[in-house]
Structure 1
Amino acid sequence: MTTAITIGMIIIYVAIMMGIGVYTSKQAKSVNDFVLGGRNVGSWLTAFAYGTSYFSAVVFIGYAGQFGWSYGVSAAWVGVGNALLGSALAWVVLGKRTRIMTQSLGAKTMPEYFELRWNSKGLKIAAAIIVFVFLIPYTASVYNGLSRLFNMAFQIESEGAYKLIIVVMAMLTAIYVILGGYAATAINDFIQGIVMLLGIAAVVYCAIHYQGGLSNALAELGKIEVNGKTNTLNSIFGPDPLNLFGVVILTSLGTWGLPQMVHKFYAIKSEKEIGKGAVISTFFALIVAGGSYLLGGFDRLFCTLDGSDSGKAAIATLSNGKPEYDAMIPATLQAALPDLLIGLVVVLVLSASMSTLSSLVLTSSSTLTIDLIRPKMKKTSEKKEVVIMRVLIAVFLLISVFIAFHKNASISTLMSYSWGALAGAFLGPFMYGLFSKKVTKAAVGTSFVLGIGLTLLHMFLFGFGWFPELTKAAASLPLNMASPINAGAICMILSLIIVPLVSAFTKVKDTAYVDQVFECYQK
């Protein structure tokens, strides 16, 4: 009966998505319509699009499980950081200037912004390649989280079923994005966002209620020893505040330099909508992210590593010696939720993930078409460009599906390397470029090289398990340098430092061009 209800809810949800795709397909005739919704999207749709692109199965399944286990209820600080730094401050600082400058320049993608802001085709090509390559592991991590949720809901364990779930999700995403472009994703994101808000609230309530209420759950959590100490998992800052801060930086500051996130500011209807959108987006992040990490903070009450407690789900230890973090939230949900709510949770995570997937594939396909393919094809009509984007959406999904088939990395690892590389390369140049005429092309290029170079170096040293002794030594430091999360956070901070530093020692060559670019703020 429960399975039938869950399947029924999924069918209704998918039908609504497809219907919106068909409805909006008539509006996606030009490149501007397909990529930006005609730059006519209101504050509510934009704020929900921002939030649902921000949070997916990666956060709900991967990050909430891992960081809840490691930091207890203090993991909720990550959700607070996501709301204040990743949402509110990002909208206030970046929103208005991004909208004005990108519209004035006619930029539809982040690589195109780099080209037109610094008058450099080389920067555009480099940025486009970085976007395409490093969005793929993030997409694969979303598929991984989705498949685990479906395994929990329908008790599916076979490798073939795992692959089938990934393929079906990719096909569904492709259909409605290919049909309606940004307009379809924005409307769907609004509906998906409502599902996420209701679902998270219900899930957190049920999990805490299952443990006898909040005070009792905190008391039980405090009895669990971490590094020989009790009353750390239920404390305000948890057992490891320094590394928790690294998670806050990666997941909050990262949004400032991610192309699929700042792209939302390109498409908003007017500067007047920015303030309202900031409030809505912040509230959304506080509920969804705060609720997800708070839920994860109690996962030790539902899971065990050694199988000694028959009342808890036994979590496997992987070949790398780490717990299977990605299995913790599904195990928690299976224990805490009544059967009828399982269907809501499946739709919740499906909503969160489909919205993120649609944003990722649209960003990647538009980047390839506008920034790499169009310059090579003279006299290409708008209609033909839209067709090319639709084909590339399918190509991007095929590549990410192939990577997702190989479950060699955890959800959090895939996302951390993706965010670390993208925001590590783009954060400083993008933000400073909106405010300062003194940012040089050399500084932008240096940030690109540093962000990607450090990410690849960290992957080589620690990501593949080739140097176990080095990894062990790096992990034993107060700030775990073997962690891709901390590596990504460091890349972002270095980007903010290196851009003004290099700009101070180099010169802007075409000052007249830069003055013309900044005239948009005076109009």
Structure 2
Amino acid sequence: MGIETLITFGIYLVFLMGIGVFFYKRTSGVEDYLIGGRGMGSWVTALSAQASDMSGWLLMGLPGAIYLYGINQIWIAIGLLIGTYLNWKFVAKSLRRQTEETDTLTISTFLEKKLGDNTGLIRNFSAIVTLVFFTIYSASGLVAAGKLFETMLGIDYQVAVVVGALTIVFYTFMGGYLASCWTDFFQGALMFGAIILVPTMAFRAGGGMDGMEAAMQVRDMTMNIMENGGEKIGFAAIISSMAWGLGYFGQPHILVRFMSIKSVKELDKSRLIAMIWVFISLGGAIAVGLTGVSLFATTDMMGGDAERVFIYMISKLFNPWVGGVLLAAILSAIMSTIDSQLLVSSTTLTEDFYKYIKKDATDGELMWVGRICVVAISAIAVVLALNPGAHVLALVSYAWAGFGAVFGPAILATLYIKGINWKSVFLGMLTGMLVMLLWKELGYGAYMYELLPGFIANGVSIFAAEKIFAGKKERKAVQG
């Protein structure tokens, strides 16, 4: 990359860190630091929710999969689009109301208070799950950051991971939730512009539709979403890909955006903004992968890694100044997710553990505990991300499945089943976790995404357990 690109990129990094410093002076209490004082507007809520959702997966993972395997990978995007809408429609308002009624800042404490669990089992289990999977999820973002910095700066991958981590940690450490949301807002806008501009230019440079079709024929790829390498895609494969959409109901870094909006009335507007953003952005990511086929005949032209197709496309098509801005969009996708994940992990450690250990902790103390937790989680994620052979999509897939299988049915049941027994929900969460892990470890994930069996097992367990507990209540009432 030229010096112009690095200057542009550097200015953007300084801008993000400046936001962290700005909100450091405007964060007066732990609720401000962890959830923005429940005062976020519709635009910031919408763009920050979707930017933190899509991550480096949008600009690296999905285009790379489309480049390698073809348009049949679109079923993942379709599932995500449907899941996004359902999450905004059926979870956002209820969660915003009920978390304020229970005065809770995390999913773990919300489940505990709403369900009336006095044992601490749900809170502790939920908190541990959150920390484990967010550490893996954050590592996926650092892998993407490492690939970006390695390609741009020509530095060792492992050094690049550390550089990316330090940048993200700085503004999250300083400004907390407010800095996270506002950086996500700007990053979401930048991602949106880049995902439209880059594939449009690539389409023209690659010879339009004729050039793309010719290149795809060489690779034995088609524009038929029902085919993969000339063979028909089975129904199970389609359902497996679309099952990604089920994960939305259990993603803490997205759900916390609903909790932080200043008014339930703002959520309809936020949903409209979010759906437009998601529809266009997913379409753009697919277009990047397809147009990349006509620009790069083999992955060797991209350093041997298909997930770098967007990076190489920018360097090939744009002058260094514009290239710096567009590359910043990739970093935006990465940062907007990691900062949210680090903050939710920090909130979990602060609210679900430290606050229960030291009940008389002051707001100032809790804020600094939160900041220290950001650094600690980041350090663990860096260690996981140091493997240069790690793939963004694989790490995201595992963490996404974990959250969806454990929290998805639990959140829906808690929000919509009045008087549900906390033991039913806890049993469902345990079952969802075990089925998801076993499905993955036994190798069945090659046939069906582990999120789906985990989600179903969780839901069935909740329903069955609730029937059992309801029967016991009736028998006791009759005996009494």
Task: Calculate the TM-score normalised by the size of structure 2.
Answer: 0.90
Say which of 94, 104, 109 aligns to 1:107: 104
| C-alpha displacement of 1:314 | 7.0
Alpha-carbon distance between aligned partners in 2 of 1:194 and 1:65, rounded to the nearest angstrom: 22
CA distance in 2, matches of 1:269, 1:418: 29
Count of residues in correspondence between the two structures: 467
Mapping of 1:459-470 within 5 angstroms?
459-462=440-443
SS at match of 1:342: helix
Secondary structure of 1:223's partner?
A: helix
Is 1:257 the counterpart of 2:220? The answer is no
| 2:132 matched residue in structure 1 | 133
Distance 2:378 2:147 in 1: 19
1:73 is aligned to 2:61: no
> What is the rounded CA distance, in whole Å, between the counterparts of 2:100 and 2:75 in structure 1?
35
Three-state SS of the structure 1 residue aligned to 2:58 is helix
User: Any residues of structure 2 matched to 1:63-462 within 5 Å, and which?
Assistant: 63-70=62-69, 72-83=70-81, 85-120=82-117, 121-154=120-153, 156=154, 161-213=156-208, 215-220=209-214, 223-224=217-218, 226=220, 233-239=222-228, 240=233, 242=235, 243-250=237-244, 252-304=245-297, 313=301, 316=304, 324-337=305-318, 339-462=320-443
> Do 1:69 and 1:299's aligned partners in 2 also have CA atoms closer than 8 Å?
no
Is 1:482 aligned with 2:446? yes
1:25 matched residue in structure 2 = 24
* Matched residue type, 2:80: N
d(CA) in 1 for partners of 2:238, 2:146: 27
Q: CA RMSD in A?
A: 2.5
- Change in CA separation of 1:7 and 1:236 when aligned onto 2, cut-off 3 Å: same
1:62 and 1:266 mapped to 2: Cα distance?
A: 28
- How far does residue 34 in structure 1 lie from its aligned partner after superposition? 0.9
In structure 2, what is the Cα distance between the partners aligned to 1:495 and 1:332?
42
What 5-or-longer segments of structure 2 have no aligned partner? 475-480
Is 1:494 the counterpart of 2:457 in the alignment? yes
More helix by percentage = 2
Q: Does 1:506 align with 2:469?
A: yes
TM-score of the superposed pair, with normalisation by structure 1: 0.83
Q: Provide the C-alpha distance between the structure 2 equivalents of 1:147 and 1:41, rounded to a whole number of angstroms.
A: 31
Confirm or deny: 8 A CA contact 2:76 2:242 kept in the other structure.
Answer: yes
Secondary structure of residue in 2 paired with 1:313: helix
Aligned residues: percent identity? 25
Work out the CA distance in 2 between the residues paired with 1:182 and 1:190: 12
Q: 1:224 to 1:441 in 2, by over 3 A?
A: farther
Structure 1 residues 23-55: Cα deviation after superposition (integer angstroms, max 9, x where no partner): 211222212111111101011000011011011
Check conservation: 1:221, 1:298, Cα contact below 8 A.
no
Q: 1:217 to 1:146 in 2, by over 3 A?
A: farther
Gaps of 5+ in 1: 227-231, 317-323, 463-473, 475-480, 512-523
Mean CA deviation greater in 272-281 or 343-352: 343-352
Deviation, structure 1 residue 459:
4.6
Q: Cα distance 1:296–1:443, how it changes in 2: closer, same or farther (>3 A)?
A: farther
Q: Deviations over 1:413-442 (max 9, x none)?
A: 111111111110000010121111153323
Change over 3 Å in CA distance of 1:7–1:327 after alignment to 2: closer
Distance 1:314 1:48, change over 3 A: closer
- Aligned-pair CA distance for 1:407: 3.5
The 1:254/1:56 distance shift into structure 2, 3 A limit, reads: same
Q: Structure 2: how far apart are the matches of 1:407 and 1:460?
A: 23
